[in-house]
């Protein structure tokens, strides 16, 4: 188990984490710190708890926007896949129709 110190909104937080996760946690803390500083600039005189609350709200808002974007892209991909499936079905039907046309146009052996 590793220990690391995170710096967020001018404070230090000593935490434990799994070995090797220190750098990742530092990146996450930097994101939170950036949002906390943005909250401080927008509303001076906030308590530490309110500051971190607004930082969390800013991050949650970004996550929500990203989820919407991902959902939109997934829906678009699903539609494109459906279009591909429909196009393949139409091509298969066209091939069958062409074979039937050739059969009907061929001279009959009985005649």
The answer as to whether 66 is a domain residue is: yes
The whole-angstrom separation of Cα 22 and Cα 69 is 29
C-alpha distances out from residue 85 to 43, 74, 91, 98, Å:
53, 16, 10, 20
Q: What is the mean pLDDT of residues 17-31?
A: 95
Domain that holds residue 67: 2-76
> Quick one: pLDDT at residue 108?
61
Whether the pLDDT of residue 110 is over 60: the answer is: no
Residue 22 is assigned to a structural domain of this protein = yes
Region 75-86 average pLDDT: 78
Please report whether residue 6 resides in a domain. Answer: yes
110 found inside a domain: no
pTM of the model: 0.62
84 confidence band (pLDDT: 50, 70, 90): confident
Over the chain, what is the mean pLDDT? 87
Domain count along the chain: 1
Average pLDDT on 29-51 reads 90
Asked if residue 11 is part of any domain, the answer here is: yes
Whether 62 is covered by a domain: the verdict is yes
């Amino acid at each position: 188990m590793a220990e690391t110190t995170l710096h967020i909104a001018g404070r230090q937080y000593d935490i434990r984490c799994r070995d090797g996760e220190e750098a990742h946690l530092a990146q996450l803390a930097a994101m939170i710190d950036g949002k906390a500083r943005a909250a401080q600039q927008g509303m001076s005189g906030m308590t530490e708890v309110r500051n971190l609350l607004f930082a969390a709200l800013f991050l949650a808002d970004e996550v929500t926007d990203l989820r919407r974007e991902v959902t939109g892209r997934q829906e678009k991909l699903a539609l494109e896949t459906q279009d591909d499936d429909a196009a393949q079905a139409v091509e298969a039907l066209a091939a069958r129709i062409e074979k039937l046309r050739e059969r009907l146009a061929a001279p009959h052996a009985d005649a």
